[in-house]
Amino acid sequence: MLAAIDNKMDVMIGNNVPGLGAIALQVAVDALDGKQVPMETKVTPGFFSLDDSVDIGYPVVQIKEGENAFRELPGALDWPALPSDFQPQVTIDEISNYKQ
C-alpha cells in the first residue's frame, strides 16, 4: 500500500483477509459447542484505494499511512487482519510488538 501512496497510483487493492483462519476456527468452535452455525460464512473482503469514492459494490477504504499502511512494518503486511464485523479485533500494536 505504501507503493500506492508514494507513487500516487490509481489502484484498487483487494485484501485477502489474513485472519480467515480465525474466522473458520470460530465457526468450528461454535459447532463443537453445539451451536447452530451457518452452512456458509460470508467474509467481507477489504478493498483499498487512494480514492475511496470508487463504487465497486463494496465499501472502499482509503489507503492512509498510519492507519492501514505502515513504513515501520513489513511491506507485505495486510491490514486490517480481520473484517470489522468479526470479534475479537486485534490492534496493529498487538500484532507488531513481537516482545509482548
Within a domain: 33: yes
Q: What confidence tens digit (pLDDT) does each residue in 50-98 have?
A: 999 999 998 899 999 999 999 988 877 778 878 777 888 888 888 777 6
Within a domain: 100: no
CA–CA separation, 44 and 37 (whole Å): 18
Within a domain: 98: no
Nearest 5°: phi and psi at 22?
A: -65, -35
User: What's the maximum distance between 2 C-alpha atoms anywhere in the chain?
Assistant: 51
Within a domain: 99: no
Own/partner pairs, 57-61, CB within 8 angstroms, 24+ separation: 60/12
Q: Which of 10-14, 37-41, 69-73, 86-90 has the lowest mean pLDDT?
A: 86-90
Within a domain: 48: yes
Task: Give the chain's domain count.
Answer: 1
Within a domain: 30: yes
Nearest 5°: phi and psi at 94?
A: -65, -35
Domain that holds residue 5: 1-93
